[in-house]
Amino acid sequence: MLSSELTRIISGNQTSLSSLEGDLLGTASGKSAKVILVTSCRPQEGKTTSAATMAHTLAATAGKKVLLVDAHLSAPKIHDLFGVKKSPGLTEFLLSRAGEKDAIQATEIDRLKVMACGVASANPAELFHADGFPAKLALLRSQFDYVFFDAGSVLTSSDVALAARHFDGVIFVVECEKTKWEILDLAKAKITNVSGKILGVVLNKRQYYIPAGLYGKI
């Protein structure tokens, strides 16, 4: 069952994310952006709930087959938000200890499935840099319209930037009025320096100083 926290956030963000699929297609420059890494500059910017909301929107509103993967192995949260088992999950899948059918779990949302983090790994970095990692992504790509990986923060984990090159694109979640542009620029450089492609930015925790409905009319 969806947690009350996630239900509240999804309800609040549904309207602003209604054009998400069109935005993704528009930023893909003619190429398919199906396997997407969701990250942030630093922790606590709302990255996980933003990834969950995007996945929910594409499944429930656009009718797409979507998989949400918990790749934030040091602080996993997806299993709690969706009320599913923590294992088997991503760790077992990448280490070939479980197939995708065992690692992927259904949710109460039609067409939306999740892959939890799995058991803790002694060396999480190796999971995303093994020779077989691109093939694992290709397998997931073949089964879903969109695959979102909720990863750690770029500036607190070198693994995120190094893994970025394997994805069709990267979405940054940025906390409004907290993250300075210099920090975002530094994080962006870490992604582009390894040939990662940035699709766009989700501005999270936005504060409205006039009624929100007036912003589109200004």
Mean pLDDT of the chain: 82
- Asked, for residue 139, whether it belongs to a domain, the answer is yes
Pairing assessment for the beta strands 169-175 and 35-40 based on DSSP bridges: parallel
**Residue range(s) defining the domain that contains residue 57:** 31-217
The CATH code of the domain that includes 42 is 3.40.50.300
Q: How many domains does the chain have?
A: 1
CA angle 126, 83, 97 (to 5 degrees): 35
Residue 112 pLDDT > 60: yes
- Asked, for residue 59, whether it belongs to a domain, the answer is yes
- Asked, for residue 17, whether it belongs to a domain, the answer is no
- Asked, for residue 128, whether it belongs to a domain, the answer is yes
What is the per-residue pLDDT across 49-74, written as a single tens digit (0 to 9) for each? 889 988 998 898 889 999 999 999 88
Residue 201, helix vs strand vs coil: strand
The pLDDT score that the predictor gives to residue 213 is 54
- Asked, for residue 156, whether it belongs to a domain, the answer is yes
